[in-house]
């Protein structure tokens, strides 16, 4: 996420987004998808 959109996210919070980018999850044409990204458990100092 950092490389693409400059968002720091914890791994669990980025999993759904990663699935969409990688093609591991492909929504049906009639499906509307929302991906929630969480970063509350990430310490920017460690990033």
Q: What is the pLDDT of residue 8?
A: 82
pLDDT tens digits for range 11-47: 877 888 889 889 999 999 999 999 888 777 777 777 6
Strand, helix or coil at 40? Answer: coil
HSE, side-chain direction, 13 A CA sphere, residue 13: 13
Nearest C-alpha neighbor of 7 from the set 42, 34, 33: 42
Q: What is the pLDDT of residue 29?
A: 95
Residue 9: pLDDT above 80? yes
Q: What is the pLDDT of residue 26?
A: 93
- What's the rounded Cα separation, in Å, for the pair 37 and 17? 8
């Amino acid at each position: 996420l950092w490389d693409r959109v400059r968002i720091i996210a914890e791994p669990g919070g980025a999993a759904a987004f990663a699935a969409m980018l990688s093609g591991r999850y492909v929504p049906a044409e009639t499906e509307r998808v929302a991906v929630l990204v969480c970063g509350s458990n990430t310490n920017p100092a460690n990033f």
